[in-house]
Structure 1
Amino acid sequence: MKQQFLKMFIFSMVFSSFGFSQSLTTQKNVKSQKPNILFIAVDDLRPELNFYGANHIKSPNLDKLAGESLIFERSYCNVPVCGASRASLMTGARPTRNRFLDAHVKKDEDYPDAISLPLLLKQNGYQTISNGKIYHYGNDDAKAWDEIWTAAALWTYALPESQEIRKNTPRGLPTEIADVPDSIYRDGKLALKVIKDLQKLKTSNKPFFLTMGVAKPHLPFAAPKKYWDLYDRNDIQLPESYVQPETTPKQAFHNFGELRQYENIPKKGDLPEDLAKELIHGYYASVSYIDAQIGLVLDELKRLNLDENTIVILWGDHGWNLGDHKLWCKHINFETALRTPLIIKVPGKTKGQKTDAITEYIDIYPTLAELVGLKSPNSVEGKSFVPIINGQKSDKNWAVSKFKDGVTLIKDDLFYTEWTDDAGVAYARMLFDHKTDPLELDNLAEKPAYEETVKALSKELREKWGKDFLTK
């Protein structure tokens, strides 16, 4: 009996030791494996979201992600237009007088020698997958990706009659309300593709850089009816800043040509109030629709137990005007086009903290590189915000954004913009103090009391807009 007991004791000790050894090996593998990155880019998403204080927006999935992330209250794109903003972010390089100018930018043409973020990751063992709209053109920076996927443009609209109108007009209808499943539209198809990718990547022995380039809330504002039903149009009001003060230079405004290309939009002048409210309603519905699609992906990430070793970053490529300054779309130097939503979830480090540190989009590249233990190439001009993630205070209090001739220095609460010629000589300017004028309605630049402030900001703008600004 004693001999049998002894055998059982020895067997149990050996088994326990084996299990303990396996546990240590598993822990070691988890620690040594580079973290994955889920990279969510959202087109035309302004920071009018619940977790930024806009409690009228229904975005439970983004709110949940924000509660597990670091939320940047003062994040700014470097160029307020899709193609240029994305190329700048993906290379970590500033726009210049002649680089990263408009929506139709290609990284391969504007900065072919730059090692992009996905290429750096691919060169260091990551599996890289581009889904949806990451660059403006799907085949841009092709060597950086193991796979490139986009949904057919046909599914921008769900209804056959809307699709037919689109085929025969420059842009189609500006809105669509369709009682259809989420998966009919491009972003619904995108979510299903990203979910399939996660399921395949679960068994891979390589870390992944998986992207989800969400199309909405870019025009047209087309979403399933149930998301329109979340909002009562009678509650929607035009923004308080629905005005164009005479003190603001004319260069600050545009004719929102992007929107004018859609059917039933007047070719000039202010929009009728009913139409303006319909567009705002459609924008909100589109935000709630993409919130649901992102939620499906995040739920699958968790179901597969990939969330504990996956960094999740979500950003909108620039802001958007919803009647602010009587403007629509982006393409301008007001804060409504420059300020952007940015949140990053780093397992074990973030849990819903907020930071008011001023951050630029060129800072995203060096941050993600540092988080996965890689050194950024010399072409990267941004500054890593890993110290902020680690709870340290930022020593950077400025950002620079540019659109065409307009260049904006954001310095603490001051927003200073100059419109300059090829030689860098200013021909118009505006200055707003957000402490007293957050809606940017009182241009201080031409007031005698601010002459010295303008001189100092003008000098600092040139020091910070980049050493190659006028030459490249």
Structure 2
Amino acid sequence: MPRQPNFIFIIADDHRFESLGFNCSEVETPNLDRLAKSGVVFDNAHCQGSLHPAVCVPSRASLMTGRNIFALRGGSAHEPTIGIPEDFDTFPQLLAGAGYKTHAVGKWHNDFGSFTRSFVSGDRIFFGGMSDHDKVPLHDFDPAGKYGSTEPRLEAGLSTDMFEQSAKSFLENVGTDDPFCLYIAFTAPHDPRTPPDGFKVDPSSVSLPDNFMPIHPFDNGATVLRDELLEAMPRTPEAVRQHLADYYGMIKHLDNAIGNILETAERAGALDNTVVVYTADHGLALGQHGLMGKQNVYEHSLHIPLIIAGPGVKGGQKLSPLVWHADTRATVLDLAGLQTEANSDGGSLMPLINGNGDVPRETFGAAYRMGQRMIRNERYKLIRYYQSGTHDKDELPGLPTPTLGSALEQIFDLESDPGETINLAFVPEMQDVRAQLSAALDAWQTQVGDPLARKDAS
């Protein structure tokens, strides 16, 4: 019987799909480009958004559990943020139960209990959302999971370099007796974006996005959150170019670390039987549509990288079906020879990769808090906005109250308008498409238990 494959699972923080070297010549990612050539790139991978201001929280929980964001419940006040329910198995937890050595490095933005259930070892663990990259509060691995009772430590160095070192150390010492899953969760390229010397990018070399706007054209209900206040309104071209240059520099530094990790795996003799997965929790606006953050349902914020390479994966492919985090989880389990639970919201992508699978879904839905909903198919996209009064019931203590918001709809033709700049919602010829997408959005909201689902929707 063939040995189960190892996994090196790499997740970045805030890395959008368009900001990869094979998509944008201004971004240097030679190592991820090589990984893409040797494996499969999913051109339409997405996150599902968030009911929480921090989009990474439910995105990572969905990736771990295969469940939609409406199925995930909150944690306690003692936890860093929203918890994963005990009856929702994470994919590292299932791998560990099948004999895998599951090892974690870097960020965990969910509860301590789910982390402890998921990993049998780890190093330089960061519980939380963000920090300065040279002041990351780190924990050693504790098999008892008593992280809330111990103070984190600070180390000299940048987060990307430290997580790289920990990953390489694991690979140099892991051995070959049991299969392993090395989970590396970088905090880059999340702000504060401080690329080190040698990786900085000149802002004068950076192009403004085609959909750059000084300010968003209407109130989307999420204009006073932290990310949107990182730059003054209206945004200026000079400021956005600087943000993009710093972002690209962080990605360049991250890519270099990934290359070093994969080289270490190859030297250790582990790469031949290792599946490498690269993805991100969500994307980021950085000047597109006049926005800075990911608290929206435009493509720049939902569209994420997904690259899978290794044994059993037919390489050299770019596949365009609509997929998301739950599918990534199911694919890892499938490659390990494990079944995906019947209540999972995702399915394995291996049939697609092998050329004998159906498209997993015709439409994909996403949300941001109680003010924005989205549904899209391969070509068209509908965004529905809700005004204040419908989205003010979900507020969490200490977080800013959403702005008034706007009750309107947008429809975009992503084929001719990938930057989502031309709203076709009121074009007479688009009313059939609008009705079809509206019905699909109603059905998705009802299916996932969205509190904003229309009561009269069939």
- Between the aligned partners of 2:39 and 2:72, the Cα distance in structure 1 is 36
Question: How do residues 220-369 of structure 1 correspond to structure 2 at under 5 angstroms?
Answer: 220-228=192-200, 231-243=201-213, 250-251=219-220, 254-255=223-224, 257-258=226-227, 260=229, 265-266=231-232, 269-369=233-333
- Give the secondary-structure state (helix, strand or coil) at the position aligned to 1:320: coil
Which deviates more from structure 2 when the two are superposed, residues 289-298 or residues 433-442? 433-442
Question: Which amino acid in the other structure matches residue 208 of structure 1?
Answer: F
- Is 1:132 aligned to 2:130, yes or no? no
- Between the aligned partners of 1:224 and 1:52, the Cα distance in structure 2 is 23
Mark the runs of 5 or more structure 2 residues left unpaired by the alignment.
138-155, 394-405, 453-458
User: % of aligned pairs identical?
Assistant: 25
Aligned to 1:401: 366
Aligned to 1:90: 64
- Between the aligned partners of 1:348 and 1:93, the Cα distance in structure 2 is 25
- Give the secondary-structure state (helix, strand or coil) at the position aligned to 2:107: coil
Deviations 1:49-86 (A, max 9, x none): 44542122111111111111101111111126111110
Deviations 1:316-340 (A, max 9, x none): 1111112100111211011110111
Which of 452, 459, 463 is the equivalent residue of 2:439? 459
Which of 2, 23, 35 is the equivalent residue of 2:5? 35
Q: Is the 8 A contact 2:214 2:234 kept in 1?
A: no
- Between the aligned partners of 2:368 and 2:308, the Cα distance in structure 1 is 26
Deviation for aligned residue 1:134? 4.0
- Between the aligned partners of 1:457 and 1:348, the Cα distance in structure 2 is 36
Aligned to 1:199: 172
**CA separation of 1:104 and 1:241: change in aligned 2, threshold 3 A:** farther
Deviation for aligned residue 1:416? 1.1
- Between the aligned partners of 1:79 and 1:433, the Cα distance in structure 2 is 21
Deviation for aligned residue 1:139? 5.8
- Between the aligned partners of 2:74 and 2:24, the Cα distance in structure 1 is 31
Aligned residues between the structures = 408
- Between the aligned partners of 1:152 and 1:112, the Cα distance in structure 2 is 21
Question: Which amino acid in the other structure matches residue 36 of structure 2?
Answer: A
Mark the runs of 5 or more structure 1 residues left unpaired by the alignment.
1-30, 164-182
Deviation for aligned residue 1:470? 3.1
Aligned to 2:44: 74
Deviation for aligned residue 1:376? 1.4
Q: Is the 8 A contact 1:72 1:343 kept in 2?
A: yes
- Between the aligned partners of 1:432 and 1:235, the Cα distance in structure 2 is 30
- Between the aligned partners of 2:157 and 2:338, the Cα distance in structure 1 is 39
- Between the aligned partners of 1:335 and 1:293, the Cα distance in structure 2 is 27
- Is 1:469 aligned to 2:449, yes or no? yes
Q: What is the TM-score of this pair, normalised by structure 2?
A: 0.81
Aligned to 1:446: 426
Question: Which amino acid in the other structure matches residue 357 of structure 1?
Answer: P
**CA separation of 1:335 and 1:252: change in aligned 2, threshold 3 A:** farther
- Between the aligned partners of 1:270 and 1:99, the Cα distance in structure 2 is 37
Which deviates more from structure 2 when the two are superposed, residues 143-152 or residues 378-387? 143-152
Q: Is the 8 A contact 1:51 1:66 kept in 2?
A: no
Q: Is the 8 A contact 2:214 2:235 kept in 1?
A: no
Q: Is the 8 A contact 1:76 1:361 kept in 2?
A: yes
Aligned to 1:6: none
**CA separation of 1:360 and 1:98: change in aligned 2, threshold 3 A:** closer
Q: Which has the larger radius of gyration?
A: 1
- Between the aligned partners of 1:112 and 1:127, the Cα distance in structure 2 is 21
- Between the aligned partners of 1:35 and 1:339, the Cα distance in structure 2 is 28
Question: Which amino acid in the other structure matches residue 286 of structure 1?
Answer: M
More helix by share: 1
Aligned to 1:13: none
- Between the aligned partners of 1:386 and 1:141, the Cα distance in structure 2 is 27
- Between the aligned partners of 1:304 and 1:144, the Cα distance in structure 2 is 25
Deviations 1:391-438 (A, max 9, x none): 235423322222112221111111112235489xx9432211112221
Deviation for aligned residue 1:257? 2.2
> What's the Cα RMSD here?
3.1
Deviations 1:174-230 (A, max 9, x none): xxxxxxxxx820110111111111122124x221111110111000111211100xx
**CA separation of 1:100 and 1:313: change in aligned 2, threshold 3 A:** farther
Aligned to 2:31: 61
- Between the aligned partners of 1:62 and 1:210, the Cα distance in structure 2 is 17
- Give the secondary-structure state (helix, strand or coil) at the position aligned to 1:325: coil
- Give the secondary-structure state (helix, strand or coil) at the position aligned to 2:42: strand
Deviations 1:359-387 (A, max 9, x none): 12211111111111111123311121111
Deviation for aligned residue 1:255? 4.3
Deviation for aligned residue 1:232? 2.9
Question: Which amino acid in the other structure matches residue 53 of structure 1?
Answer: N
**CA separation of 1:272 and 1:55: change in aligned 2, threshold 3 A:** closer
Deviation for aligned residue 1:151? 5.5
